[in-house]
Amino acid sequence: MRCLTGNNPFKGKIIDITTPISPFTPVFPGDPKPAIERLFSLENEGFAVSRLILGSHTGTHVDASSHVLETGLPIDKLELENMMGTAIVLDFSSLKGVLTVDVLEKALKSTDISDNVSIILLKTTSSSKIQKSEGLDPLYLDESTALWIVEKKFKAVGIDSFSVDNLDSETLPAHRILLSGNVSIVECLELSSVDPGIYFFICLPLKIEGCDGAPARALLFSESEFNDV
């Protein structure tokens, strides 16, 4: 997490919750590993240009509905309105396995949230740097929880792990329910240093035509800094 300061309409620090992309960025098992190749250098050509090789779901990224739905839209057709708004960060770092409706609903009721909260961000025991092969059981959504999120008309869900689904799942039911219900999905957020609470959230994926997802830059603003904007 990195805090940026300076002139901005939110009158305060910007909390960067983006997982950086480098050759060392962990990826979902089987996905291409990122590579950054220097093609031109200041020393030789007088300018620097690099070639980037990476999967569409590298680092912090947004899933397009075409990621799992045959009739889904690509990332360049994503409704950007879904990717900005009032968000709540919920800390489930003491839990593992499935996140049930009862647990999620109880966590939301225990916080003083207003009706304009439209985005849920899940802080878990798993960060984007942790592999399931290390013996951990990352938190994930089951079908009923995903359906509840759709029914409650949230417009986006973010998580700090590789997937909102069980990593062993081959059918990705939570993805399918959320994306078919027009709920956007952001994965591999960096929330390890973020306190639970209400924030303003902005996450904009690269506009790659026809693609099933894209890396994104994700930012938070604390409530006190945006509620008068």
Distance CA 175, CA 165 (A): 7
Nearest-angstrom CA–CA distance, 9 and 6 = 10
User: Which parts of the chain are beta strand (E)?
Assistant: 2-4, 14-16, 35-40, 49-53, 61-63, 84-91, 98-99, 117-123, 140-141, 156-159, 184-187, 197-205, 213-222
- Output the DSSP codes for 47-64: S-EEEEE--TT-SSEEE-
Q: Count CB atoms within 10 A of the CB of residue 35.
A: 12
Strands 213-222 and 14-16: antiparallel
Q: Return d(Cα 153, Cα 91) in angstroms, integer.
A: 21
Q: Can 67 be counted among the known catalytic residues?
A: yes
Catalytic residue among 57, 61, 67, 175: 67
Contact between residue 122 and residue 90 where contact means Cβ atoms under 8 Å apart:
yes
Rounded Cα distance, 163 and 127, in Å? 11
Just list the catalytic residues.
67
